[in-house]
Amino acid sequence: MEYFRVHHILCTSLYEGKGYSGAFCENMSSVVERLRANPEEELVPVAEPDVICAGCPNRTEQGECAQNQNSVVEKDRFLAEQLGISTGRVSTYRELCRQAAEKMTREIFARSCETCDWHRQGLCRYEALTAQLKRITAFCD
């Protein structure tokens, strides 16, 4: 069972193999492939660094985000509240995707994602996210 940042529910849904560095992409690809192959994997949603952050070049030696950590924590907390996800409570990837699919709105997406580099680069769009969350949820049923 691993820690899993709340906003990474969205990131893993649309991940296409692009990222901060080669090491980050290898780690992220591995996590995404594993979760998609086993959507019943148990995760602990958190608002702190997780298994995906482990490969990030922006992670400090103390394990924190060097790029405005507070905004990432705030994003996780906001999404947890809006999507009805209890941090610290064990859930499956399937359950987390289902909650996101059921409660995601354009407004929630805009507030949590519009300042993200991946969104600004066109890799993440509301319509694509909601469609993919529904696919993952349908795949999981």
Give per-residue pLDDT as tens, 110-141.
999 988 888 888 888 999 999 999 888 875 44
pLDDT at position 20 over 90: no
* pTM metric for this prediction: 0.90
Count up the domains in the chain and report the number. Answer: 1
Is the model more confident about 20 or about 31? 31
- Would you state the pLDDT for residue 54? 83
Please, are residues 20 and 52 in contact by the beta-carbon 8 Å criterion? no
Please, are residues 71 and 21 in contact by the beta-carbon 8 Å criterion? no
- Would you state the pLDDT for residue 141? 46
pLDDT at position 68 over 90: no
Enclosing domain of residue 83: 2-140
